[in-house]
Chain A
Amino acid sequence: MARTETNDKTTRLDAIGARGRLADRLEQVVLYAILVVLALCYVVPFLWLLSNSLKTPSELFTHPVKWLPATPQWVNFRNTFTTFPFMLYLKNTMIVVVVNIIGSVISNTLVAYGFSRLEWKNRDRVFVVVIITMILPFQVVMIPLFILFQKLHWIGTFLPLTVTCFFGNAFFIFLFRQFFMGIPMELSQAAKIDGASEFTIYSRIILPLATPVIATVVIFAFIRTWSDFIGPLIFLSNDKLYTLALGAQQIMTAYDPKWELLMALGVAMTVPVLVLFFLVQKYFIQGIAMSGIKG
């Protein structure tokens, strides 16, 4: 009697197990199917951009659509460099990008040091102010800044796009602070006993240790400035100073936007960003994740 009961139970459990395994398999298949379809939706636009960048103008407009160019028009890329003032816009973009990178690293490491390695009253409360400034809409400060820069005769120069980066950026301060807090205080104490000043500790101990986070911020700053559109649109009234992002938009709204060249420009502007992202992917993703969890 007892034995039959146990037997019953094991067969039942076996049945549940088999059904469970089957359900598991099925669940897995369904989940993968959803993911793959969605992932395709995210990837295909990139392939579409690439395919379009290699088409002839007439291939772009054919109906029904041509998925791939008959012969890839690699010449589109060469024409991008020669048809637009590409090199000028690239030079302008690089000037703004390089200054932004330098400014962001210098100013935000200093400020983050003050918020993490120095002890002072209400430090963490004041840090909340840094976080709050992150949610302030740009539209609120945009108009007074434009008027201020106009009075300073900065409109039509690179100054509005470069000076501000030397005065702290909440997100970068946050990233650096998070990293600096993880460095043991004993290192600073030992250096202090040897008579090192805070600035020496900052430049000789903390900065060398912070290389990964500095690399991340450099690439964040690069991507931000490289892609920035509204800043150049508002502050650069002089077309000799246009950045690639603004130049591309101007070409697009022009009388005859050479779409196939714009697509090639699109590829040329996206590839460097992706390459840089893959270089520091791990830290980059950690940085994004952190902003949501601890922020």
Chain B
Amino acid sequence: MALANKKRTGGERLTVILFLSPWLIGLAAFTLYPVVSSLWFSLTQYNVIKAPKFLGLGNYVALVHDKTYLTSLWNSLFMVVFGVTITTAVTILVSIILNNRKIKGLSVFRVIFFIPTLVPVVIVAILWVWILQPQSGLINSVLGIFGITGPGWIASPAWAKPSFILIMLWGAGGSIIIYLAGLQDIPEALYESAVLEGANFAQKTVYITLPMLTPVILYNVITAIIGVLQWFAEPFIITSGGPDNATLFYGLYLYQNAFQFFKMGYASAMAWVMIVIVLALIFTLFRLTKKYGNSE
């Protein structure tokens, strides 16, 4: 009996392993192995042709002295601070408005805000070149109707980063969908009792909606931060980092080091610093929101 039982569990274990095997192999070959070797490469000088040469922490020390690296770090942190904040504020605002019972056409608006995320990145880039074009671009032409001379956008070092914030906003419809789902999970009873106590819209938002939504906000903000630090395709295609390195973002400079200068070790060190930054930001966000919301 005991033997039969053991045999059965052995068979069951094999079944589990067989079903999981695609993921297990993928985890080992395409996640764990690259992560470990990336850490090793980050400690070496490696140009793909010659074997890696051990440098210790040399790459990390070099990063601190690399002015271009520091520019790229600053550019991406600018996008984290301003881009993510503005995007979060706008998407939450839109979601709260859409969630209002008095607003009809929720599903139509939801689709309108979402479809830009479906446009292939290359087409997003082509499209935005023509929206931001200083002379015959869409935005400056619209501003021209009101007699405003628009800025040079991607052609101007001062306006290049704000241009990318606009692109970011246009592609932020996914978080509106996630916020709406989060808003629908907030019990109606909370609002009803607040109304009885005479709370207005602003009070309801600050004391009920935002605290209840904190876990969802946290998820969206973290995803956005990771996305911004990795951001590559649009800046690579639209500006290649220019003008004057104003849009040389972290992910773009990392790519250049790896695949244009073939400094694989250096680029790997950049990737690991990126992980540390992401983890530090996530940790800080969790600490900050613990006091405010009721996130688990």
Contacts and interface: CB of A to CB of B under 8 A. Distances in A.
B89 interface: no
Contacts of B16: 114, 118, 120
Contacts of B114: 285, 288
B285 interface: no
A116 B27 CA distance: 19
Interface string A223-257: 10011011000100000000011101100110000
Contacts of B20: 110-111, 114-115
**For A138, A139, A269, A274, which residue has the most chain B Cβ atoms within 10 angstroms?**
A139
B38 A144 contact: yes
A83 interface: no
A264 to B, nearest CB: 11
Interface string A127-149: 00110010111111111111110
Contacts of B177: 285, 288-289, 292
Query: Would you call the interface of chain A mostly helix, strand, loop, or mixed?
Result: helix
Contacts of B12: 118, 120
B182 A293 contact: yes
Contacts of A234: 259
Nearest to A288: B177
Interface stretch (A68-76, A165-173, A183-191): A165-173
Interface stretch (A7-15, A28-36, A94-102, A210-218): A28-36
B251 interface: yes
Contact of B113 (A39, A244, A291, A293): A39
B135 interface: yes
Contacts of B57: none
A167 B113 contact: no
B102 A28 contact: yes
Nearest to B238: A252
B29 interface: yes
Contact of B182 (A64, A129, A274, A292): A292
Interface of A: 24, 27-28, 31-32, 34-35, 38-39, 41-46, 48-49, 52, 60-65, 67, 106-108, 110-111, 113-115, 118, 120, 129-130, 133, 135-148, 150, 164, 166-168, 173, 198, 202, 223, 226-227, 229-230, 234, 244-246, 248-249, 252-253, 259, 262-263, 265-266, 269-270, 273-274, 277, 281, 285, 288-293, 295
30 contacts: A28-B102, A28-B103, A31-B100, A42-B170, A44-B138, A45-B116, A64-B136, A106-B22, A113-B19, A118-B15, A130-B23, A135-B226, A137-B229, A137-B275, A143-B38, A143-B258, A146-B258, A167-B30, A168-B26, A173-B23, A227-B119, A230-B232, A248-B123, A249-B122, A249-B125, A252-B125, A288-B174, A289-B180, A292-B181, A292-B216
